[in-house]
Structure 1
Amino acid sequence: MYDCLIIGGGIAGLQAAIQLGRYNHKTMVLDSGDGRSAICHSYHNILGYPDGISGPKLREIGRQQAERLGVEFVKGKAANARKTASGFEIESDSGETHKAKRLLLATGIMDRVPPFPNLMQTLGISVYVCPDCDGYEVKDKTTIVMGAGNVGANMALTLSYFSNKITYVNHERTEVDEEKKTAMEEKGIEYVDGPIEKVLADGPDFRGVILANGDQLTSERGFIAFGGNEVKSQLAQQLGVELHENKHILVDPRTKMTNVEHVWAAGDVVAHSEQVTIAMGDGMQASIWIHKTLLAEKN
């Protein structure tokens, strides 16, 4: 039995794994290998990386650091979770069962990204999803917001803080409130109500879109804003963990433990701003309190 089982090998899970390894706790990370950090080609707002660092690279560095501390990694997706008399049992999609005294859910969320062939290679470099992370990257640049309804309109309005050269393409043609249309008009945001046929890109460099009607819109930067992101809190629900109305996990702000004893949560799956640096802090804070409870149990 492990001292702690971490579900998710993203930024929060890795930071927690490193710290638990430094505490000499027997720790395992069950990692499906997907998630936001697996597809972002560059983070620009992290201390120590002024020129950016990719999510996959940051994950690679973190995993190597954790492995040097004795942390085990298993590739797989957690399918079922249950509480037992001695701790927890997690069943993976391969049918394997893993047991642990403590459980940290660092399962994250996944953005709804349209399946345009050229889009994935641009994410984090010239096309973005988070205005707090990367709004600065569109400063004074022509920018196309690819989105749906009010979600896309809100993104366009938010980005108008950084640039006055914003175009919003309502790809899914979802209804936009009249007050938002008025607000976009007042900000000088061009509004296009029509589907995108193709995303234009030279490798990682976004160049614009071709609409279904044949019109071509050129741009230096892009943003995605479709809403409906998947919050990966299904395991939490199985364990009776309390969720926010948007399905994010609620935790104690000091300890990061959920309402279920010995179940912690960290990172984007928690109800707060979704940032790499916050995920790191969550993972660290959770690991400290996991250690405290394990230590108290031995004494």
Structure 2
Amino acid sequence: MVYDCIIIGGGIAGLQAAIQLGRYQHKVLVLDDAKGRSSMCHCYHNLLGWPDGVSGEKLRSLGKEHALRLGVEFEEQRVETVEGLDGEFCVTTAESHEFSGRKLLLATGIKDNIPPFKGLLPCLGKSIFVCPDCDGYEILDKPALVIGSGNAGASMALTLTYWTEALTFINQGKGEIDAELVEKLVGKGITLVSNEISEIHTDCSALKGVTLDNGERIDCCFAFLAFGGNKPNTDLALQLGVELEANKHILVDPRTKMTSVENVWAAGDITVHSEQAAIAMGDGIQAAIWIHKSLLES
């Protein structure tokens, strides 16, 4: 079987594209390993229609159900290789299954740099955050920690002063901080802690505080992570020779979302640095519209 389009990545962008292509009645396959960042976020707070927030799991579940009703097929498999062959694309998974498609959409997202503290993951999106634009409002006038390293952590702390003045920056890893940033931290009244965290304290999804390596405990109910080094998942794009931006995200046509390789599109966090779920949805539907136009012409 040759699919009209294979979508690699079943997160927010991939699912929205699948729904739109399903509504066009195209034969679509979504390949996803269920390890993307949307599966880790336990609450999106800034999406239209969800004033009380919605989890990534809930969005993904609803999106998949919607797409299945439209005839879209799903396989929970990790893609290892992809190549163009005789005007089609051959996609091979870790399970050695091969799939062929006329068009290809990459929605592989990014991998966040998250420290491996026990109990941290259930708190993501609830009491521990990574995006100030998404979740800065959640700490409005409340004490909060910034758990980060070096300039990335210092910059995050300064950004968060828009919402609260009660900030403590824990320089985990004791990364180097530019003198100019240190001066700004002091000027904003941000407490700078050079001792590292030995343990975080949580109750299910609620942060309770941290213990430092000197034995000191800091009680706090909210934290932001800021280690820098988030990695765009571009391995498959590179196999196809897709052109990347300087920041390693995929370069796409702003109107069509097509990459530099014909019949290969990209959508979502892999293409932009805003890392917003709403933008990923828009990217997905925009890419799908142009994939449909391309299928009509071929």
TM-score interval, normalised by the smaller of the two chains: over 0.9
Aligned to 2:7: 6
Residue 147 (structure 2) pairs with residue 146 (structure 1): yes
Q: Does 1:261 align with 2:262?
A: yes
Task: Give the superposition deviation at 1:245.
Answer: 1.8
Separation (CA, whole Å) in 2 of partners of 1:246 and 1:90 = 26
* Aligned-partner Cα distance in 2 for 1:101–1:186: 57
Amino acid at match of 2:64: R
- State the 4+ residue runs in structure 1 displaced beyond 2 angstroms: none
Letter in 2 for 1:69: L
User: Secondary structure in 2 aligned to 1:80?
Assistant: strand
Q: 1:220 Cα deviation (Å)? A: 2.1
Partner amino acid, structure 2, of 1:96: H
CA–CA separation in structure 2 for the residues paired with 1:77 and 1:269: 17
Q: In the TM superposition, what is the alpha-carbon distance from 1:296 to its structure 2 partner?
A: 1.3
Output one character per residue of 1:232-282: Cα deviation in whole Å (capped at 9) or x when no partner.
011101101000122100100000000101100000000341100000000
1:208–1:220 contact (8 Å) kept in structure 2: yes
Alignment correspondent of 1:128: 129
**Counterpart residue number, 2:103:** 102
Q: Aligned ranges for residues 82-93 of structure 1 at < 5 Å?
A: 82-93=83-94
Q: Counterpart of 1:26? A: 27
Q: Superposition pairs for residues 1-299 of structure 1, below 5 Å?
A: 1-297=2-298
In structure 2, distance between residues paired with 1:101 and 1:194: 54
Displacement of 1:83 in angstroms is 0.8
**What is the CA RMSD across the aligned residues, in angstroms?**
0.7
Task: Measure, in 2, the Cα distance between the counterparts of 1:203 and 1:85.
Answer: 52
1:38 and 1:143 map into 2 onto residues whose CA distance is 24
TM-score, normalised to structure 1's length? 0.98
Q: Answer yes or no: is the 8 Å Cα contact 1:258–1:264 preserved in 2.
A: yes
Percent identical among aligned pairs is: 54
CA contact (8 A) 1:257 1:265 kept: yes
What is the CA–CA distance in structure 2 between the aligned matches of 1:239 and 1:3, rounded to whole Å?
18
Do 1:2 and 1:101's aligned partners in 2 also have CA atoms closer than 8 Å? yes
Distance 1:230 1:174 in 2: 19
**Matched letter for residue 205 of structure 1:** A
**What is the TM-score with the length of structure 2 in the denominator?**
0.98
Displacement of 1:208 in angstroms is 1.5
- Runs of 5+ consecutive residues of structure 1 not aligned to the other structure: none
Per the alignment, in what secondary structure is the counterpart of residue 270 of structure 2?
coil
Q: Which amino acid aligns with 2:148?
A: G
Aligned-partner Cα distance in 2 for 1:76–1:206: 33
Structure 2 unaligned regions, length at least 5: none
Q: d(CA) in 2 for partners of 1:205 and 1:191?
A: 23
